[in-house]
Copies of this chain bind each other. A is one copy, B any other.
Amino acid sequence: MIRIVARSVVQTYQKEEYLRLARELIVQSRKEPGCISYELYEDIHNPNVLTFMEEWEDQTAVDRHNNSTHFQTLLPKMQLLCVGSTEITLYRTAHYE
């Protein structure tokens, strides 16, 4: 399982448009094979910080998602509404047992 945390800072006056595009991305991504969850969160202390938290079955599913038409079409549009670039981190479960 791979977990992705993708944090963006949206421009205040563009937030509504960003959420509209995010909604489309979420709806399409959840239909993909290997998508376990795909959620969007807002920083409680800074509502312009919007972070996707995703769970994917494996790297193949992540690669397929990154190459999907909806991702390739929507992401550039969403990035134009943000300040700076999106910080993306890929995680695996830590083994602490």
Q: What is the interface of chain A, defined by CB distance below 8 A to chain B?
A: 2-3, 5, 19-20, 22-23, 26, 39-45, 49-51, 53, 89-97
Chain B contacts for A40, CB-based, 8 A:
93-94, 96
The interface centre, meaning the residue of A50, A89, A94, A97 with most chain B CB atoms within 10 A of its CB, is A94
Taking chain A's interface residues, is the majority helix, strand, or loop, or is none over half, making it mixed? strand
Partner among B2, B20, B43, B44 whose Cβ is within 8 Å of the Cβ of A44: B2
| Distance (whole angstroms) from the CB of A77 to the closest CB of chain B | 15
| Distance (whole angstroms) from the CB of A51 to the closest CB of chain B | 6
Complex CA–CA separation, A22 to B93 (angstroms): 13
| CB closest chain-B residue, reference A26 | B96
